[in-house]
Amino acid sequence: MKKMLLFFLIFLSAIQLWSQDEFFDGPQNPVEDRNFRTPLIGEKAPSFKAVSTNGEINFPGDYGRSWKILFSHPQDFTPVCTTELLELAKLQDKFEKMGVKIVAISTDKLDTHVQWKKAMEGLTYKDKEPVKIEFPLVADEDLSVSKRYGMIHAETNNTRDVRGVFIIDPDNIIQASYFYPKSVGRNTEELLRVVTALEKTSEEHVMTPANWKAGDDILVPTVPKPEGSADELASEGYYKLAWFVWFKKAN
């Protein structure tokens, strides 16, 4: 009886091993996870090397202690993407003065980027003169960068980016990100506003209220000088909406 039981156990173990062998099931190809994780605010920006219309770039390392914007678009030679990059090009001098570097990316080939860039630089848009696109257009043909940044949303498209934006600080930490559907163009003035606010809050350790624009009053995170008199606080530019909402007048 014991011999029969032992034989049965050996036989069962052999069957389990054989069932895992390629001889029975054939080669096991891994199934790719199509839900690519998006890096979150406060995380290190994923690094990558890629070819672009400005040559090979190493992101974010090539941009040192600058603020950086990674701006993805679904496809070259499409209407919404074209207007977005033209609007972004109109603001590139402002971003440059702020020390902000822009990198645009899609899953198109480099030669397609080159042709599209040339075509865009000859367009007159909103009665504005044609403008040279100084920032690089990165070719992510193998989708490696797009996957690393979670810009491939499989339920929408398995090979094209959604309209994503990542704002990255001088320490290469992601400070803001957002995504838009393919049919809706982004507001590049809002992008400029957000970067301006991020730079100010980082440098001055303050906060910005809703709809803040450069030159508006700012919020302070704590009650300024609890022991100070109302006149003293007012002389230093502080005022309150409520005991828990304190402003400081813009300089």
Q: How far apart are CA 121 and CA 123, in angstroms?
A: 6
Please indicate whether residue 81 is annotated as part of the active site.
yes
Q: How far apart are CA 167 and CA 111, in angstroms?
A: 27
Is the separation of the CB atoms in 137 and 117 below 8 Å?
yes
CATH topology of domain 48-187: Glutaredoxin (3.40.30)
Higher pLDDT, 10 or 146: 146
- 21-44, pLDDT tens digit by residue? 333 344 444 444 555 789 999 999
Q: What is the mean pLDDT of the chain?
A: 88
Q: What is the pLDDT of residue 226?
A: 78
Q: For the chain, state the CA radius of gyration.
A: 27
Q: How far apart are CA 231 and CA 169, in angstroms?
A: 38
Q: What is the pLDDT of residue 158?
A: 87
Query: Annotated catalytic residue: which of 57, 81, 162, 192?
Result: 81
Q: Name the pairing type of β-strands 218-220 and 238-242.
A: unpaired
Residue pointed to by tokens 């440059």:
96
- Does 15 score more than 60 pLDDT? no
Is the separation of the CB atoms in 93 and 126 below 8 Å?
no
Instruction: Give the residue extent of every domain in the chain.
Output: 48-187, 205-251
**pTM assigned to the model:** 0.83
- 39-56, pLDDT tens digit by residue? 999 999 999 999 999 999
